[in-house]
Chains A and B, each alone.
Chain A
């Protein structure tokens, strides 16, 4: 709810904004690689006959993987840019006597627009495609519900609208933002809060730390019933980024 109120205000501000100037400290392109810790809690409930009625699990901080970030703006227009985020992690899931192993991913690709910075601070609006793999439990046979269910990765794709604040000053870059993922049927399926900071250690290399809070709730239709997944977690990303400060 808050995201969209802020989005409205931001869009209004964007429409009034004059062509913002480039910030000397702002990199025009950044590429980063981070180690990702992805602890999360998961709940699954279903009325379909070929699924378990409910499944719950929680995984700790040792659920880990890698995260990739590529962000930049147009060489001749620093207000418009694009951003790519990808996170992949191994999810070891213990349910009763069965251990499942899945590889979950979270992908975002979108455009971003920022206002004219004041003392290094600017507002950012973004819109892009978001896709993540949602764990889903179902029995292998449609008509027999004995034994352990299979763990599936069901892609959930939608568009994400986000607003953020960005601070760039000398060697430091910080971003705090929120984003809302909507399915293509305009159903809200996920909320994201992100806070990230980078500090340039050398001419181009910067240390990066990021915190992602994700809350997802998705309703599914399937043959014979409905299912709901609640998945919430905090991702901690630690890594490095490479800054290109001078556009070609």
Chain B
């Protein structure tokens, strides 16, 4: 659930079937419900679709809302990165930064290169 742009995870309050229950979330309020606050619920359907309720805009609650239908057209907190990404989009920012501790370090690689260079120089000297 998004309340005034902040994301809160809802939990199954009544029922045992996740697809047929009542969900709730309890959040602290800075003004005891006075003022005017907007909220909407985001869900993921069984087929992976992501949506919101209401589909557009947000509901309002509070004593100081200046809207007769207690609805506003904005969805504060919702952004483009809520949309599903393709596999390539999900991998494009992943880069290798390190490796295993049990494997050789760069010092050993340096030693190997130094050994090869020394051997090559010695071979040149012999020939």
Contact = CB atoms under 8 A, between A and B. Distances in A.
Interface of A: 1, 3-5, 7-9, 11-16, 136, 138, 140-144, 146-147, 150, 152-154, 156, 158, 161, 180, 182-183, 185-191, 215-223, 226-227, 230
A8 B106 contact: no
Interface string B84-115: 11010011011111111111111011011011
A43 to B, nearest CB: 12
A39 B98 CA distance: 25
Given A140-B84, A141-B82, A216 B100 contact: yes
Q: B-side binding surface: helix, strand, loop or mixed?
A: mixed
Given A141-B82, A142-B82, A215-B100, 6 more contacts: A9-B115, A15-B122, A15-B123, A16-B123, A138-B90, A141-B81
Interface residues on B, range: 35 or more
Contacts of A230: 100
B87 A152 contact: yes
Interface stretch (B24-32, B42-50, B58-66, B68-76): B42-50
Given A4-B111, A141-B82, A11 B94 contact: no
Nearest to B120: A15
A34 B11 CA distance: 51
B97 A217 contact: no
B119 A14 contact: yes
